[in-house]
Chain A
Amino acid sequence: MSQVIRRKRLGLIALEAVMIILALVYIYPIFLMFINSLKPFGEVVSNVIALPKNITIQNYVDVVQKMHYFQLFSNNVIITVIGVTGIIALSALAAYILDRRRMRYTKLAYLLIITPMLIPFQTFMITLLKVMTVAHLAGSTWGLGIQYWGFGVPMAVFIYFNFMNTIPREMDESALIDGATTFRTFRSIIFPMLKTITTTIVVLDVMWIWNDFLLPLLMVNGRTETKTLVLSAYTFVGQFNTQWHYAMTAMVLTVLPSIIIFIALQRNIVQGVVAGAIKG
C-alpha cells in the first residue's frame, strides 16, 4: 500500500515539474516583451532574447510622451466607467421589474432585450457607424460609453434575470406594503442583495470594454482626445514597427493596467468569468 502511495506522490511531483516548465514556456512571450521594453534600441537589434545589459527606463519616458499615455489612459477610464455604470444600473433595474411583474409586456420586453446576444457585432457595424453619427454618439468618449450600454445590456439583463428568483419575493413585498416606492425598494433592498452577480457582470464588462478594439476603431479613432489605449497602441506599433524598443514599451504600457488589476483581484476575476460563461 505504501508503495502505491509513494508511486502516486512521485507521479504528482513529475506532473508538477512538467506543468511548471510548460507554464514558463507559455508565459515566455510576455516576459520577452517586458525585457525588450527595458533595453536600449541597440540591444534589441543585436539580440532580442538576451536579458538587458543596461536596464533603462528611457523607453518608457519617451513612449509615455509620444503616445500621450495619460490622456489615453483617462479616456479608457472614462469610457469604461460610463459604460459599466450604465449597464449595471439599467440592467439590474429592468431585470428586477421583468422578473417581478409577469405579464405579456414583460415577456416580450425580456425577449427583445436578450435576443441581440445572438447577433454578432460585425454584422451591423457598417450601418451602426451611420446611426451613431446621426445620433451624435460617435466621435466622443462619453458617446462611446453610452453605446456600450446598448451592447452590454442584453447579457447583463439575462444574467440578472436568471439570478433574480433566488431573492425571495417576501423581501420586497414587505417593503412595498410598508409604503416604500418600487425604486426605493430596488435601491435599498434588492440591489445590495445582487452583489455577487453584480461583481461578475462588472468583471466581464470591464475586461470587454477596456480591451475592445473594433467599436472604438469605428467610433473614436480620429483624435488623440478620444482614442483608447489599445487603439493608440495599434497605430503606434504600426508607425514604429522597425523601432521595436518603442513598440514593446507601448505594448507593455497598454497591457500593464490589466495585468496589475488581474494580480490584485485574481479570485474575483476568475470566479466572475466562470459564472458569466456558465450563466451567459
Chain B
Amino acid sequence: MIYVHHICFSDSILTDEVHTVKSRRNQAETVLYTLPCLALVALTIYLPFVLSGYYSLTQWNGIAREPMFIGLGNYAELLRGDGSFMRALVFTGKYTIVSMVALNALALALAVALVKDLKSRNVLRSVFFIPYILSMTIVGFIWQFIFSKGFDEFFKMTGFAFLNLSWLGDVKLVFYSVVFVGVWQAVGFYVVLYIAGLQSIPADIMEAAVMDGAHGLTKFFRITLPMITSSVVTCVLLSMINSLKVFDTILALTKGGPAGSTYSATLEIYREAFQNNNYGLGSAKSLVFFLIVLALTLFVLRAFRNREDAI
C-alpha cells in the first residue's frame, strides 16, 4: 500500500487562528465519520476474537456462569485427546489441496475454451456460473438427492458400475463426492476470473507468438499462463482460503459422516462448541485453525511474490 501524503487544504489565505479552529473541527469530523466502522468491527470481530483467546484457556460449558481457568489445558487436550481435531485438520488439508488443483485446472481449461469465438459462449459462461449463485446448503441437498436417488435410477438404466457405488456411505469414496460437489459449486467463479485475465492479454502478443511458431500447449504454457500470473495468484489464494473454510456443503451433504470421516475443521469447531457444549475447547480449536489459515495465506502470498520478483 502506498501512502501519498497530502495536505487537505491549501490554507495560505487563512489566518493561523481560523486555521486551528478549522483543523480541530476537521479532526473531530475525521473521527466522527470513521468511528462507526471502527466500533462495528471492534464489536463484531475484535472483541469476540480476543474473548475466544481468553475462553480457550478455560473450561466452560456455556451454561455455568463462570468459566474455569485451566491455562493451556485445552491445547494439551488437542494434542493428546481423541484425535478428532487432528482428523478434521487432515481432512481439511486433503480437501483443500485436491479442491485447489481441481478447481484451478478445470476453471482454466473451461476459460480457455470460453474465450474462443463460440456462438453460444455467453450462454455457456452463464450456465457454468449459475451454481455459484446458489446457496451452498441447497447445493449440498441437490447432490445428496442425486447421489442417492438419481444414481440408482441411472444405474437401472445404464448398468454402469460406478453408479451403483455408495458415494456418500463409503468412508473412502465420500471424500471424492464432497470435493466434487464443492468444485461443481464454485468452478464458475474461477472461470469468470480466468476469462477476465485471458481477455486482458494484448492481442498482438498472441499474434506474435503464433508468428514465431508457438502452438497448442507450448503457446499455453510459455505465453498465455505467464501473461495471466495475477489471475492465477488471485484464484489460487481464494480457492485455498475458501476450501479451508468449507462448512455449508458438507453439513448438508453428509453432516460429517459416515463415521465422522468428512468433518472439516470448521464443522469440528462447530460441533465441539454447539453440540458438545465445550466452549473452551472449541475456542482453542478455533484459534489453532486461525493460525493455520493465517500462516498458509502469508506463505502463499510470499511464495508468489518471490516468484514474480524472479520473473
A residues within 8 Å of B by Cβ?
12, 15-16, 19-20, 23, 26-27, 29-30, 32-33, 36, 47-49, 90-91, 93-94, 96-98, 100-103, 105-107, 109, 112-113, 116, 118-128, 130-132, 135, 147, 149-151, 153-154, 157, 165, 169, 173, 176, 182-183, 207, 210-211, 213-214, 218, 230, 233-234, 237, 244, 247-248, 251, 254-255, 258-259, 262, 266, 269-270, 273-274, 277-278
> Do A126 and B273 touch across chains, with their CB atoms under 8 A apart?
yes
B296 CB to nearest chain A CB (Å): 11
> Do B120 and A102 touch across chains, with their CB atoms under 8 A apart?
no
Task: Tell me whether A20 and B193 are in contact in the complex, defined as CB-CB below 8 angstroms, given that A48-B153, A122-B266 are known contacts.
Answer: no
- Rounded to whole angstroms, the CA-CA distance of A268 and B197 in the bound complex is 18
B116 at the interface (CB under 8 A from A): yes
- Rounded to whole angstroms, the CA-CA distance of A38 and B152 in the bound complex is 20
A76 CB to nearest chain B CB (Å): 11
- Rounded to whole angstroms, the CA-CA distance of A157 and B38 in the bound complex is 11
**Which residues in A have their C-beta under 8 angstroms from that of B134?**
30, 211, 255, 258-259
> Do A128 and B37 touch across chains, with their CB atoms under 8 A apart?
no
**Which residues in A have their C-beta under 8 angstroms from that of B274?**
126, 218
Residue in contact with B49 in the complex, picked from A119, A211, A258, A278, CB distance below 8 Å: A119
Task: Tell me whether A214 and B48 are in contact in the complex, defined as CB-CB below 8 angstroms, given that A49-B153, A274-B193 are known contacts.
Answer: no
B237's closest neighbor in chain A, by CB? A277
Q: Within B174-209, which residues are at the interface with A (CB < 8 Å)?
A: 184, 189, 192-193, 196
> Do A32 and B286 touch across chains, with their CB atoms under 8 A apart?
no
**Which residues in B have their C-beta under 8 angstroms from that of A273?**
189, 192
> Do A19 and B124 touch across chains, with their CB atoms under 8 A apart?
yes
- Rounded to whole angstroms, the CA-CA distance of A26 and B269 in the bound complex is 33
**Which residues in A have their C-beta under 8 angstroms from that of B244?**
120
B289 at the interface (CB under 8 A from A): yes
Give per-residue flags for B1-12: 1 if the beta carbon is below 8 A from chain A beta carbons, else 0: 001111011000
Give per-residue flags for B28-43: 1 if the beta carbon is below 8 A from chain A beta carbons, else 0: 0111011011101111
**Which residues in B have their C-beta under 8 angstroms from that of A277?**
189, 193, 234, 238
- Rounded to whole angstroms, the CA-CA distance of A251 and B142 in the bound complex is 8
CB pairs A–B below 8 angstroms (10 shown): A90-B40, A102-B3, A124-B48, A125-B270, A126-B286, A127-B55, A213-B136, A230-B138, A254-B135, A277-B234
B45 at the interface (CB under 8 A from A): yes
Give per-residue flags for B123-138: 1 if the beta carbon is below 8 A from chain A beta carbons, else 0: 1111111110111111
B interface residue count range (under 10 / 10 to 19 / 20 to 34 / 35 or more)? 35 or more
B309 at the interface (CB under 8 A from A): no
> Do A123 and B4 touch across chains, with their CB atoms under 8 A apart?
no
Which of A90, A97, A124, A169 is most buried by chain B, counting CB atoms within 10 A of its CB?
A124
- Rounded to whole angstroms, the CA-CA distance of A48 and B266 in the bound complex is 33
- Rounded to whole angstroms, the CA-CA distance of A230 and B7 in the bound complex is 49
> Do B270 and A122 touch across chains, with their CB atoms under 8 A apart?
yes
Residue in contact with B37 in the complex, picked from A12, A100, A113, A121, CB distance below 8 Å: A113
Residue in contact with A33 in the complex, picked from B5, B137, B145, CB distance below 8 Å: B145
> Do A214 and B153 touch across chains, with their CB atoms under 8 A apart?
no
Give per-residue flags for B259-300: 1 if the beta carbon is below 8 A from chain A beta carbons, else 0: 000000110011001100001001100110110011001000
A98's closest neighbor in chain B, by CB? B34
**Which residues in A have their C-beta under 8 angstroms from that of B146?**
29, 32
- Rounded to whole angstroms, the CA-CA distance of A248 and B9 in the bound complex is 61
Which of A23, A154, A233, A258 is most buried by chain B, counting CB atoms within 10 A of its CB?
A23
B30's closest neighbor in chain A, by CB? A101
Residue in contact with B34 in the complex, picked from A106, A128, A131, A262, CB distance below 8 Å: A106
> Do A26 and B127 touch across chains, with their CB atoms under 8 A apart?
yes
Task: Tell me whether A124 and B286 are in contact in the complex, defined as CB-CB below 8 angstroms, given that A105-B30, A182-B29 are known contacts.
Answer: yes
Which of A121, A157, A183 is most buried by chain B, counting CB atoms within 10 A of its CB?
A121
> Do A262 and B48 touch across chains, with their CB atoms under 8 A apart?
no
B90 at the interface (CB under 8 A from A): no
> Do A33 and B142 touch across chains, with their CB atoms under 8 A apart?
yes
Give per-residue flags for B236-274: 1 if the beta carbon is below 8 A from chain A beta carbons, else 0: 001001001101100110000000000001100110011
- Rounded to whole angstroms, the CA-CA distance of A234 and B48 in the bound complex is 27
> Do B37 and A16 touch across chains, with their CB atoms under 8 A apart?
no
- Rounded to whole angstroms, the CA-CA distance of A29 and B149 in the bound complex is 12
B220 at the interface (CB under 8 A from A): no
B37's closest neighbor in chain A, by CB? A94
**Which residues in B have their C-beta under 8 angstroms from that of A103?**
30
Residue in contact with B41 in the complex, picked from A116, A121, A124, A270, CB distance below 8 Å: A116
**Which residues in B have their C-beta under 8 angstroms from that of A126?**
48, 52, 55, 269, 273-274, 279, 282-283, 286
> Do B47 and A131 touch across chains, with their CB atoms under 8 A apart?
yes
Residue in contact with A153 in the complex, picked from B37, B46, B154, B245, CB distance below 8 Å: B37
